[in-house]
Chain A
Amino acid sequence: MLTRYVEAASSYAQDIDGLITLITVLVGFWFLVAQAVLFGLIFRFRAKQGVKAQYISGEEKSQKRWVTIPHMLVLVCDVFIIVGAVRVWTDVKQTLPPADHTVRIVSQQWAWTFIQPGPDGKLDTEDDIKTIDELHVKEGATYHFQLLSRDVLHSFSVPAFRLKQDAVPGRLITGWFKPTRPGAYDIQCAEICGIGHGIMAARLFVETPEEHQKWMEKLSPVARAPTPQAEAEQENTPPAEGASAGAGAE
């Protein structure tokens, strides 16, 4: 149901959309029933000449039934929603399926830096590929992300993936996603982080394995060239805590 407004491009997007649909159905039903009863009563019992209102205390069992029964049914609907929510939450946020690749996402005042292992597959090695505000991932591969922030709170949010995780300075938070549809999607910052919060846009490119391989080759040999090498070297030290004040956009 949500795909009418935003694409579903990751493996657990369906689970979250399914839960949202379940909630829409249950909650929509109760909403319409309540509105219908409300407007019905307003119309049915509008003031008429010479007709007095009834005296109903609502304390007797028979009268209170009219409220306690819907009350219980709402409770039952809530149980369904809770079960659905906890199940999807444990899949998305509490389990880490084995990763084909890992990417380190560094958020700072007003830019996203992505550090991906180069051909050798290991992070913190010379051949790491560092990109700014652009993340290239392979369709169908499970990625672990290591999310951290260099200064204030940020939040890594990819609406198309139904992925959102706040980056808290001082913490390293791990999560996973698995892209399923090639294309280019927005990365937004979902936690206010100063005057550049609105311009912290980044793009996420989901490529077929072949395109991804071409991109890797196109970048990594170039990365061999000295200048980016030295620059990658310097940048690549583990993220210094107590980052330099307000580093401007790269």
Chain B
Amino acid sequence: MTREPTVAEQSHPNYVKVWGVLVALLAVSVVGPMFEIKLVTLVTAFGVAILKAYLVARNFMHLHIERRYVTYLLVGMVALMLLLFAGVAPDVMKHEGHQWKNEAAQKVVRDAAPAAKVH
């Protein structure tokens, strides 16, 4: 079943170059956290991860030339996960709240050896 040449034919990014950028970003995300600075770690590790995900999605998955609602669908699902996190974190992440205390979890945190360095 031959495919008629899609409009993507012309706007194919140079894949090897994109790959190079991704590898460079990988190096950044490995080196960054070595400085033990919390903010630097956050930016290099997680910021870079989001950037790499964007590059793969845009250039390798051709989302930039795909129908717009496909991107809305995928981003919508990610937003749903943030909503889940927002709704559940006050109960699971925190071990204390309004008129309740998660004593067992607090005990687990207290008993563990003091963290070498707080992440």
Which chain A residues have a beta carbon within 8 Å of chain B's beta carbons? 93-94, 96, 148, 169-175, 241
Contact = CB atoms under 8 A, between A and B. Distances in A.
A18 B29 CA distance: 59
Nearest to B103: A172
B98 interface: yes
Interface in B65-119: 98-105, 107
Interface residues of B, number: 9
26 contacts: A93-B99, A94-B98, A94-B99, A96-B99, A148-B103, A169-B104, A170-B102, A170-B103, A170-B104, A170-B105, A171-B100, A171-B101, A171-B102, A171-B103, A171-B104, A172-B100, A172-B101, A172-B103, A173-B99, A173-B100, A174-B99, A174-B100, A175-B99, A241-B103, A241-B104, A241-B107
Contacts, number: 26
Chief secondary structure at chain B's binding surface: mixed
A174 B102 CA distance: 12
Nearest to B107: A241
Contacts of B101: 171-172
B100 to A, nearest CB: 5
Contacts of A148: 103
Nearest to A170: B104
Contacts of B100: 171-174
Nearest to A239: B103
B86 to A, nearest CB: 20
Contacts of A171: 100-104
Nearest to A147: B100
A172 B105 CA distance: 11
